[in-house]
Amino acid sequence: MPAKETIRAYYDAFNRQDMEAFFNLLHEDVVHDINQGSRQVGKAVFRDFMVHMNRCYRETLTDMAIMSNDDGTRGAAEFVVNGQYLATDEGLPDASGQTYVLPAGAFFEIRDGKVARISNYYNLNDWVAQVGA
């Protein structure tokens, strides 16, 4: 599967909350660079991260623009996160169902038609301002 199609399928599964389809698009040794955070390695660790995220946030991604290099090994996506803050995440403001709209982006490495690396970026200060620090 070409990079653009892999990235599109990844985000389509995310938006449907089809976590099995989502995880099936990841390499076993996927590298996940968390925005302003650490690097995590492995599908099991990524699964734990997503369980936490889905408990704290409900998000849908819109206005998607997907790009890739010529050989399909790298790609990028820019999008808008439309979210609701459901449960307080450690070190962040208290959650009370606040909504937010946040521009974001991600960089991908694609190997064998699967996501081998994803690095996410957004403006955390903008998010904090929107949910009311």
Strand partners, 101: 82
First-residue to last-residue Cα distance in the chain: 42
Residue 133 has pLDDT above 80, yes or no: no
Q: Are 68 and 4 in contact (CB under 8 A)?
A: yes
Total domains present in the chain: 1
CA atoms within 13 A on the CB side of 50: 17
How, if at all, do strands 26-33 and 114-122 pair? parallel
pLDDT digits (tens, 9 = 90+) for 43-97: 999 999 999 999 999 999 999 999 999 999 999 999 999 999 999 999 899 999 9
Average pLDDT over the chain, rounded to an integer: 94
pLDDT digits (tens, 9 = 90+) for 16-52: 999 999 999 999 999 999 988 889 999 999 999 999 9
User: Which domain, by its residues, includes 86?
Assistant: 3-131
Q: Are 77 and 115 in contact (CB under 8 A)?
A: no
Res 37: pLDDT: 82
Check which CATH number belongs to the domain holding 55 and give it. 3.10.450.50
